[in-house]
Every structure is written in structure tokens, then in C-alpha cells.
Structure 1
Amino acid sequence: MTRRRSRRALLRAGAVAVTGLAGCVGSLDIPDDGRRQSDTTRSSPAETSPAGETQSTTESETTRAPTVELDPIDVRSSFFYLTTPDSLDVEAVEATQFVFVRVRPRTDAPRPSDFALVADDRHFWGTLAPGDVGGPHRLSEFGSVYRAGKRRSGWVAFEVPNPLDAEAVALTYDDWRWSLDEDRLAALRAPPPDFELVSFEAPEEVAHDESFDATVVVENAGEGDGVFRASLNQAGPAYAPHRAAVEVPAGERRERTWTFGDSVTRKTERVNLRLESAVTDRETSVEVLGGTTPDSAVN
């Protein structure tokens, strides 16, 4: 199934205020797949000079420290982004994957486009606007975004083909190169997943003092393993996103269940749920029998 691009990114461009990002979504759990920090290696210009060229052995060239550090964060076929301060969607672009990298300035803070992911003889330049989601302020799970000219760490993204057909892959800036670990290289080269939403279920009604479950079943019909990302956005009585990142091997199915406790159903007449994913969107409404709205509740 072809992945959709984010459909409402431009329509909702004004919906998310930058000042509101520290609120509801910032406390969400890290996705299930987690993040791995990898060791990086660097080579100085003297180590990469063409054969036959005289190499200087002065201290300034052989021992100088890099002006920035690049640390890979993750390789992904999709990522979460904010649509409002209280809801999330998932971005995926056909035949594209995203490499997120932490930039740690030392003595220099260059432009994001000065960094490159080099795959054989192809260069993919750094960006702060991966996909089509309306800007870097909509991405919250990687922490602060990198800013040129500011001496603080932040993320930069690279968009590369999915899969990436390359023997030699490295991050570069100026004369420095940082290698990627074997796990991330394998992820870049692997065939992409192809997710299909099998089902999305929740009860039509529930008693006001009972909990209930909402369950999604997803199948990976592709040739490569992958992570299915989805956000179950809740409206009533509270507004909140509940995100999930589920590892699904090629050719298999996986199930994810969200449980809503009696604290959700006690003070409302209806709970509206909308599932957002890179595959498709679904929505449902759960009627709360005997429930009351906060305005009609008797103190």
C-alpha cells in the first residue's frame, strides 16, 4: 500500500503555536522502538588525501579537533509531528527515509545545509524541514532543533532514498567524516516495510464507571521489517495524543491496545477517538452510559 503524505500539514499550519509546545505533548513516552546512540569515528584530511599526494604531518592537521560533532539519532521511514498542541500525526514519504542526527557545536555552528550524508558519490544535504509538515517546530520527539550560529546542540535531518543503495555511507562536514554503525547502515539498505491497517476497534458504548480498550491490528506486507507509528488522539473529557511505535517484522501482524480507565468515562458523555497513521486515518466515538459532562455534574 502506498504511503500517504501528510494531508493537512498546510491547512493546519496556523494551528500550532510555538509557545504551546512545552505543554501537552512534551510529557509523552518515548516511542516503543527507542533510540540507540552509536559510536562515531572521524578521519582528518591527512587520512583522506588522494594517493600520491604529499601529506603534511604538522600538528594542526593531524591532531586538530573537529569544530562540531555529529551523532546519529535514528533512521526512520516515518516520524511523529504536531498538528495541534494536543494531537499528533505521522509523516511518511514514498520511497524516502529520514536520518536524524544530533549536531553538537564546539567552535562552529554552520548552516544545516553545510552538513551532508554522503552515499558513494551522492550528497544529501541537511535540512530542518523533513517531509511536508510545516516546519521544524512541529517535531517534538528529538528535542531541540539545531540553529545555525547558536552554540547549542540540536537535530538536523537528511532525506535519502528508501532503500539506500550504497557501499560507503558517512556524515560529513568540512574535512571531517563520521561513520554510521552497522545497525543503522543495515536499516538504510534494507527494503522498506509496507503497512496495512487490518482493523481498528473500540466499543460503541461503555458504562460511566468502567474502563475500555481501543485496539489496532497492523500487517507488514513488505519485504523489510519496520516500525508502525500511530497516534490515537483523544477528545473528551481531556484532549491528548496517545502514540505508539510497534515493530512489525516482514510478513507478520502485530496488535496494539490502548486502555482508557474509569477516570476517562466518569465525567463525560462521549469519548471521541481518531487514529492517525501513515497508512490511513480512522475515527470512532464511544458513548458513556450514565455519564455526565463537567458542567452538568452535581457537586
Structure 2
Amino acid sequence: MMEEVNYVNAQATFSVSYRKASSHHMKINHLHSSYEFFYLMSGQRRFFIKDRTMIVDEGHIIMIGPNVLHRTTDAHTSEYERLVVNIHSGELAWAEGISPDFINRLLDHEYLILKCPPQTAILIEELSRSIIKEIRERNHGFELYAQTLVFQMLILCSRHLLNSSADSTEVQNPAAYERIFEVVRYMNSHYMQDMSLPLVAEKFYISPYYLSRFFKEATGFTFIEYLNHVRVKEAKQLLENSSMKVNLIARKVGFGSITHFGRVFKQVTGQAPLYYRKKGWWDSR
């Protein structure tokens, strides 16, 4: 049994997704150019971000920056309820102009994991329910009203960061996965080199079977899925910030052929590399 409420505006710069489900694995191609605000309203989720896996519980808030690879999968208990808001940097510009410290405190991180004190948590829960109600009922002005509620949540999170000694709640990696995360960090740094599961397994003195099985368990990705996503992430940066030809970008990030690069890039982003560069949507939206 699953309940969902979803909304994406016409410019795709603001989206809201509410889900209450007994089990769910996030779609693999979760790499986007917006900021993500994930609030776990109930249950538990296993969260993979960049090179870490953690179990997050009810009340945790995860804020993820643009182009940070992440995925959620079922944890010890599969039933959960969550709210996800994606918002493009352009939608945050006016707030940055008014109060840059407030925005920068939240957004100058690749990701943050927050657990607010009870009084703040109650307010965030109430705001979340109001956002869901607005998106579900879609009365006149609902998008603007929902955005104002999101900004109230962001302000509460920013205040919590200001008043707490740590930048982020520390959630530990499971010790059993530490060897896998050594592999992940290696892949993040050496993605441009010739790389395969057998070669990496040999480098880390583990069996290909062990690496294949536990890589998927720890990250939610297969080995090749993760490698492709890391390479596409770097290719996106080059398409956005350089005039380098697409065939050179393909080689630079580790793809052996431009055909394979184009196919994987479209699979991950939904767009062909040349269209992605020509459209320039990461900057204009």
C-alpha cells in the first residue's frame, strides 16, 4: 500500500514529493542540479550519499546539494513516510539577497544531516503537513504558499545550525561496509582510469563476488551503475564550465567511446550531452 502526492512546476525549478509506503527503493538515476530537502516523517531509511551509508530515523532532515550522488533504500523497518522538496538555486536567489548568511549556512555544504530539538521538530512536522495539504488540494496560489512554508522550514533548520555546536548530526557508517567505502573513495578519485569490478577487486585484495554483493548492499548501486554516475557527474561539470568537445569530455571522464558515453549520459540525465550543453538549463532555470 502506497500513498503519494507529487508536484513539479512548469519550469521544473520547484518540486514536492510526499510518500507513505511499506517498501520502496529510489530510482537509480538520482543526480540532479537542484537542492534537495528530505524529511523523514516516520520509519527508517538507509541513505547513501557520496561515500557514506547511514541509517536515518524519524525526524532526521537531510539537505543535499546539486549534483551530489545519493540514493535511499529500505532499512531495518520498511514502512516509512517522507517529504522531499527539490528547489533550484534560482528560486533561492531572493532570499540570498535579503539574508545571505541564512542561505549560505545551509547551502555551503555538499550535504547536511540534521536532527532538530523537540520544539523545532514539532514546528517542522506541522509545516510539512501543511505543504502536503497545499499540494494535494491545489487551491489558488498553492505553489507560492507551499514555497513560503518550505522557506519557514529552511529558516528553522538554519537557526538550529546557528545555535548548535556541530554543523551536522553525525550518523556513523556501518563498520561492516568500511572496506566498500574505501573502494567508493577510490572510484571517486580514479573514475577517469580504466576500471572494472575484477580489476578493483584485485587491487583491494577482495573477491569480485564479495565486492559485487556488498557494494550493492552498502550503496544501493551496482558497481557499474555507480561508476557511470560518477563519470556523468564529472562530464556535466565539463559541459557546463568548459568549451571542450564532447568526444574529449567522454575520454577525459573515462568512457572508451563517445557512443557509449552518449547512451549512459542520456540514461542518467534524460538528455543527450550536446542538448544538455546547448540548453544550458542548469543556469537558466
**TM superposition score category, shorter chain reference:** under 0.3
TM-score, structure 2 length as denominator?
A: 0.25
- Greater helix proportion: 2
